[in-house]
Amino acid sequence: MLTILFDGFAYGMILFVLACGLSVTLGLMNFINLAHGAFAMAGGYLTVVLMNRFGVSFFLCIPAGFLVSAALGVVLERTLYVRLYARSHLDQVLFSIGLVFMAVSAIDYFMGAQQQLITLPPSLQGRVSLFGIQVGIYRLFVIAICLVLAVALQLILSRTRFGSQLRAAVDDARVARGLGINVSLIFTVTFAFGSGLAGLGGVLGAEILGMDPTFPLKFMIYFLVVISVGGATTLTGPLLASILLGIADVAGKYYVPTVGSFIIYTIMVVVLILRPQGLFGRANAR
């Protein structure tokens, strides 16, 4: 029972680490960025290349994945995304899907279509006993990173000057500009941050999910489920939603395997019918 709970929690955390970057771009900047998975894939493939070809340590890949994806985010934001902030959601969807198609083919071209795997350093392999249950060290590691991330993000948003400037810029870009806030800089930084988080998710997810060129499409649905169930306007929402979905999914598949595959979708539909703005979203959200 406890094992199932822990497994669900850990699974939820993996969902969160992949989705939290999206909650930054989608939730905070109100940009439907379906190419989120492509940034995650960038981080993941960077890890694969660094570890398998150059023998770089996994621990170094974590910040590298974040930085490279963030840099990629800056470049794309400045050149392309910035033109689309004012456009309709449908244009954003079309545009970002186009980017995903390009990323998928490009990775296929350079890296091949087969799945790429990494091998963790020995210190992250194996299991330890915790509160009487056996838990995987790597899962603990992911959970720890996620919790730190969640707290840090929440603090940045609610406590710092940057956070309040960002919220102001999102709520009304014109007024914010009038107040002397450099809106475009703030958006660039935020977008880079979201992309970086995606890259981080890719690094951490590479071990468990594996990397192949269709990664951004395969996991897009999961990102979106987490964000919509949690509500896009906060960060705690997606966090709690990930945990809820993770535990429900794992427990459901354990106890009632015949309906296992329905659980995650059913929860999503039911939640959205009852609370269209998501479980923890603000009711007056855009």
Residue list 226-265, contact with other proteins (CB under 8 A)? 227-228, 232, 249-254, 257-258, 260-262, 265
**Residues 6+ positions from 58 with CB-CB distance below 8 Å:** 47, 51, 118, 120, 121, 124
Angle between helices 236-255 and 2-22 (to 10 degrees): 140
Q: Does 191 bind other proteins (CB under 8 A)?
A: no
Phi, psi dihedrals of residue 134, rounded to the nearest 5°: -85, 125
Q: Does 276 bind other proteins (CB under 8 A)?
A: yes
Q: Which of 118, 166, 243, 244 binds other proteins (CB under 8 A)?
A: 118
Which CB, 131 or 273, lies closer to other proteins?
A: 273
The site for other proteins, by CB under 8 A, has a size of 84
Minimum distance between the CB of residue 213 and other proteins, rounded to whole angstroms? Answer: 7
Minimum distance between the CB of residue 6 and other proteins, rounded to whole angstroms? Answer: 9
Q: Does 128 bind other proteins (CB under 8 A)?
A: no
Q: Which of 31, 19, 29 is nearest to 167 (CA)?
A: 29
Are the C-beta atoms of residues 89 and 63 closer than 8 Å to each other?
Answer: no
Which CB, 163 or 260, lies closer to other proteins?
A: 260
Q: Which of 22, 146, 224, 240 binds other proteins (CB under 8 A)?
A: 224
Q: Does 140 bind other proteins (CB under 8 A)?
A: no
Minimum distance between the CB of residue 98 and other proteins, rounded to whole angstroms? Answer: 3
Enumerate residues 48-107 that contact other proteins by CB under 8 A.
52, 80, 83-84, 87, 89-91, 93-95, 97-106
Q: How many CB atoms are located within 10 Å of the residue 155 CB?
A: 11
Give how far Cα 206 sits from Cα of 61, 78, 200, Å: 11, 28, 10
Q: Does 121 bind other proteins (CB under 8 A)?
A: no
As a whole number of angstroms, the distance between CA 44 and CA 68 comes to 11
Residue 277 burial (C-beta neighbours within 10 Å; 0-12, 13-18, 19+)? middle
As a whole number of angstroms, the distance between CA 237 and CA 229 comes to 8
Q: Does 163 bind other proteins (CB under 8 A)?
A: no
DSSP for residue 135: E
Q: Which of 104, 21, 99 is nearest to 66 (CA)?
A: 21
Which CB, 171 or 182, lies closer to other proteins?
A: 171
User: Which two tokens mark 236?
Assistant: 């705690």
Which CB, 175 or 269, lies closer to other proteins?
A: 269
Enumerate residues 19-48 that contact other proteins by CB under 8 A.
26, 32
Minimum distance between the CB of residue 34 and other proteins, rounded to whole angstroms? Answer: 9
Which CB, 117 or 185, lies closer to other proteins?
A: 117
Q: Does 210 bind other proteins (CB under 8 A)?
A: yes
